[in-house]
Amino acid sequence: MTTAEHRHDGAATEPPMIGDHLAMDLLNTQARSDDQIVDFWNSGDDVMRWLERHHVTPPGKPPRVASADLLAQGKQLRNVVHDLIAARKAGQDVDVDRLNQYLQGYLTSPRLERDGQGKFVLARRPQGDAIASLLGPVAEAAAHLLIDGDFSLVKQCEHPDCILWFYDRTKSHKRRWCSMAQCGNRYKAAQFRKRSSGALASPGK
């Protein structure tokens, strides 16, 4: 993560890639700054650029899609995944029907290809609707998280002004912040100021 990607002063241009899971980074296309929700997706181009950064677009030239439709369906998928992850994290029942709509639209077929070393590999290539082909891998990543994910490791940043999510892959599983350089240091600085102001005020009691 770089400062240009994510700053809490609202000057960010790209969503952060700090979630350590595609589904987490999907949720992190929204952040909070000064008690306002910042949405990094404001056009279909924003969604396409995010998909390309995460290497989940189909091989070759990206398919031509209506920008407004990609934006609307991308945001809808984000809402669906957010609701599922939040409910699963809270130990509540989850309704997977809305996610299944994205999975069922993601039609692929097997294709025999050669990898970089010239060995045969069996790859799956999207064959259906262009938008479903673009968003399908994201929906599939969310489905795998629900199936295989350890939800004790699915966390939100502990800073009270942050809403970013991450999958804690640290060895100790004690990660607390979306970024130590951002929220961790901000929290520590705030706590230091609080202790300092208390120490200065105590002699006058």
pLDDT tens-digit map of 185-203: 665 665 555 666 655 455 5
Find, among 176, 183, 163, 164, the residue nearest to 24 by Cα.
Answer: 164
* Residue 60 buriedness (CB in 10 A; 0-12 / 13-18 / 19+): exposed
Ramachandran quadrant class, 35 (left: phi over 0; alpha: psi -120 to 50; beta: rest): left
Residue 204 per-residue DSSP state: G
- End-to-end, the C-alpha distance of the chain in Å comes to 45
How many whole angstroms separate alpha carbon 203 and alpha carbon 164?
A: 40
pLDDT digits (tens, 9 = 90+) for 78-127: 999 999 999 999 999 999 999 999 999 999 999 999 988 999 999 888 99
- Alpha helix segments (H runs only) across the chain: 22-27, 44-53, 67-89, 97-105, 130-148, 185-201
Of residues 73 and 180, the one with the higher pLDDT is: 73
∠ CA 28-33-37 to the nearest 5 degrees?
60
How many whole angstroms separate alpha carbon 199 and alpha carbon 196?
A: 5
**Token pair of 50 as six digits:** 């995010």
Mean predicted lDDT score pLDDT of the chain: 87
